[in-house]
Amino acid sequence: MSSDQLVIKRVFNCSKRALFDAWSQGSLMSRWFFAASEKVKDSKVDCQFNVGGQWSVTMYFEDGSDATLNGVYKTINRYSEIAFSWNSSIAMDALVQLSFKELSANRTELKLVHSQLPSEESLRMHNQGWDACLANLEAFVKQNLSPADESAL
């Protein structure tokens, strides 16, 4: 791992399609995309899910503060890959690449690569944020995307 690149792999107990949908549908993203262990309220998500489309997420925190992230979708290969630019208060013009690998019918590996981070401190802070977001995604999957529930998506 280079000093400006963060790589995280996680396995989720859901289909590749369901996991992809959790990243591509704003109504689903708003329920898990927040960087705290306890949700204050759903994040505000605007998502034009097409190459060149813009996205933004505003997360809300217990202390009353919020954080807004935004970018543009660069690559979308349905059910296998999403890449988007990333702008936040601590990283401008960074890049996030997601790849989805089916391990079995209801187990999917997510690989997240966040690159072009400006410093070690930014990398550390983004690592903490992604850990929280992905833990929230895992909880969301467990509660909402069990194999029997996926047909509701």
Specify the CATH number for the domain of residue 112.
3.30.530.20
pTM summary value:
0.91
pLDDT at 151 over 60: no
Distance CA 115, CA 16 (A): 23
pLDDT tens, 71-129? 999 999 999 999 999 999 999 999 999 999 999 989 999 999 999 999 999 999 999 99
Provide the number of structural domains found in the chain.
1
pLDDT tens, 40-55? 899 999 999 999 999 9
Cα-based distances in Å from 12 to 20, 83, 134, 135, 137 = 11, 19, 10, 10, 9
* Burial class of 121 by CB neighbour count within 10 A (0 to 12, 13 to 18, 19+): exposed
Domain of residue 68 covers 6-146
Average pLDDT over residues 19-31: 96
Q: Per the domain annotation, does 151 fall within a domain?
A: no
